[in-house]
Amino acid sequence: MESITKNAISIEKVQSSKIALVDFDNLAFGSVFSDHMLVCDYRNGAWENPKIVPYGPISLAPAAKIFHYGQSIFEGMKAYKDDTDSIFLFRPKDNHKRFNISASRMSMPELPEEYFMEGLKTLLELDKAWIPQSEGSAMYIRPFMFASGEGFHASPADAYKFMICLAPSGPYFAGKVKVLIEEKYSRSANGGVGYAKTGGNYAGQFHPTQLAKSKGYHQVIWTDDHKHENIEEAGAMNIFVRIGDTLITGPTSDRILDGITRKSVLEVAESEGIKTEVRTITVTEVVAAAKDGSLKEMFGAGTAAVISPIAGFGYRDTDYELQEVENSYAALFKKRITDIQYNRAKDPFGWRVEV
């Protein structure tokens, strides 16, 4: 296995930091970037030359395959700062593993763990002052890889870049969302790339999501591509429904991404003695439960929002509203998970990693 030490990462610091220009009390999500970024190259069959440089544009050939064939993958993670300025990551090795699962599906080279973890930690230490501390805020971390090798022939590139950029971010969603159950478009298909965090999956969502927005919804609920009978994901989040007191989410597959928040919610639910079911959720049962009042909650789960409660959904020209519930599962999971992330509670699961 290749290995790097921190000494091997060359560091070119900014001449003057941009941090004074940032209003940390009014941060949007993922739209301000810290002073530095990590860049690492893959050529001749090996990763080399990891370096940290000032955040800024990079130069690529017009024939770079990222532009033509979309070989591009990413991860989304966060760094959290506690009251004493200590910094924590949440299950970061799971992000690294999934990064390589995405890489392999897109015929891209795997990245050794050292490059991912040491690169990330060195970058975070350098831009530590950029990690926000206020409630719900965190440093959003975007590791990504794309084909920089050239050629108009449709085949995997021979050169790639791995990069990490950091975006100090405020809370993701304000308020509850209204969603539309999608029956025409699909996010993913059997045998497809839905389980990979690859760029095209998201580009393909924009148009149907725009259509839903023009009808007054915030997000699309994806159903299976075959018959649109099963509820699969909420936008770029995994979806949970609570019927009665049972928490249900779909099984991961080619089509449903193996979310780290999803599996954390399941583990927290089990530790709280909540009945969980990992099984296919049909649109029919959710509509029936909405009608008879047993549909207590629906929420999305993902790193950016942690938990994103759903206020209601549209299905075939009818809107269904969910009533507020006491003892909300969504609120409980959000509290349990964020308390661990921000080092406000013990971590019986071993998820928190200090930087």
Ligand X SMILES: *Cc1c(COP(=O)(O)O)cnc(C)c1O
Task: Answer yes or no: are the C-beta atoms of 181 and 283 closer than 8 Å.
Answer: yes
Residue 24 vs 74, nearer CB to ligand X: 74
Residue 76 vs 136, nearer CB to ligand X: 76
Which of 114, 124, 129 lies closest to 40 in space, CA to CA? 114
* Minimum CB–partner distance for residue 300 and ligand X (Å): 8
Residue 87 vs 220, nearer CB to ligand X: 220
Is residue 302 a contact point for ligand X (CB under 6 A)?
yes
Residue 149 vs 302, nearer CB to ligand X: 302
Is residue 237 a contact point for ligand X (CB under 6 A)?
yes
Is residue 257 a contact point for ligand X (CB under 6 A)?
yes
Residue 300: phi and psi, rounded to 5, are: -90, 155
Is residue 338 a contact point for ligand X (CB under 6 A)?
no
* Minimum CB–partner distance for residue 278 and ligand X (Å): 15
Contact segment (CB under 6 A) with ligand X among 210-218, 229-237, 243-251, 276-284 equals 229-237
Is residue 303 a contact point for ligand X (CB under 6 A)?
yes
Residue 260 vs 283, nearer CB to ligand X: 260
User: Beta-strand (E) ranges in the chain?
Assistant: 10-11, 36-43, 46-54, 72-74, 77-81, 87-90, 138-147, 160-169, 177-181, 219-223, 230-234, 237-243, 246-249, 276-278, 281-282, 295-302, 306-315, 318-321, 352-354
Residue 52 vs 281, nearer CB to ligand X: 281
Residue type, 281: I
Residue type, 254: D
Is residue 238 a contact point for ligand X (CB under 6 A)?
yes
Q: Which 51-90 positions form the footprint of ligand X (CB under 6 A)?
A: 76
Among 121, 178, 197, 296, binds ligand X (CB under 6 A): 197
Residue type, 217: Y
- Label residues 258-284 b or e (16+ Cβ within 10 Å = b): ebbbbbbbbbbbeeeebebeeeebebe
Instruction: Give the binding site for ligand X (CB under 6 A).
Output: 76, 197, 233, 236-238, 257, 259-262, 302-303
